[in-house]
Chain A
Amino acid sequence: DIQMTQSPSSLSASVGDRVTITCQASQDISNYLNWYQQKPGKAPKLLIYDASNLETGVPSRFSGSGSGTDFTFTISSLQPEDIATYYCQQYDNLPRLTFGGGTKVEIK
């Protein structure tokens, strides 16, 4: 099974800061990686698909990069409404889907 390791598990940053989350796959998954945002009490929402493509309607301060085993998710300027837990998800062995453990983002 492909394992997805996200880091950090939590972070605290100030409004306007650049925030970076990493996701490492246990084997090469090409660009078969998505990122989701989950706000408290809500369902996850797709933000980035295929490693770097911004979902329609998602603010441009969110971005993703990477391929192979190492991926990065970035918020260029953290906003109060970005408080959430972020998950990566691989689909290299579709139909199986595997999620990372999540990164909780808080405001300092």
Chain B
Amino acid sequence: QVQLQESGPGLVKPSETLSLTCAVSGYSISSGYYWGWIRQPPGKGLEWIGSIYHSGSTYYNPSLKSRVTISVDTSKNQFSLKLSSVTAADTAVYYCVGNGGGGGEGALDYWGQGTLVTVSS
């Protein structure tokens, strides 16, 4: 059974960098087509942050591109998100996601449980 688990600080100060890690179990991260991050502000909808493909290529939401970095550590079977210069608008539940199941190349088959990150001083 594939499981994704986010970890990282739940509180980040404005202007600092948000850092989250997603540990993948039950599946080799090298086998998946792509992995990524989705966020959801409280009471709002879903926003794609970015993805990293098995090739190592990364793609980011243009609205966040200047502040986002996604990386993979295959030795630890995990991937990470860094979002710099955060503001209150970055307060959200952050989900790590993966594609690699039977749902086709555009489907997010795997989701972490989500972690709430609050930006506040």
Contact = CB atoms under 8 A, between A and B. Distances in A.
B103 A99 contact: no
Contacts of A90: 106
B106 A102 contact: no
B51 A101 contact: no
A102 B61 CA distance: 19
A80 interface: no
Contact of B113 (A43, A89, A95): A43
A99 B102 contact: no
B108 A46 contact: yes
B73 interface: no
A104 B101 CA distance: 27
Given A43-B111, A96-B61, A91 B46 contact: no
B45 interface: yes
Nearest to A85: B45
A32 to B, nearest CB: 6
B4 to A, nearest CB: 9
A49 B104 CA distance: 7
Interface stretch (A12-20, A50-58, A63-71): A50-58
Interface residues of A, number: 27
Contacts of B106: 32, 34, 49-50, 89-91, 94, 97
A87 B111 contact: no
Given A87-B46, A95-B34, A95-B53, A43 B114 contact: yes
Nearest to B109: A46
Contact of B51 (A34, A55, A95): A95
A99 B111 contact: no
Contact of B48 (A44, A45, A53, A99): A99
B14 interface: no
Interface in B53-102: 53, 59, 61-62, 95, 101-102
B2 interface: no
Q: Which 10 pairs show the lowest CB-CB distances between chains A and B?
A: A91-B106, A43-B111, A95-B59, A49-B103, A97-B48, A99-B46, A49-B107, A49-B104, A95-B51, A102-B45
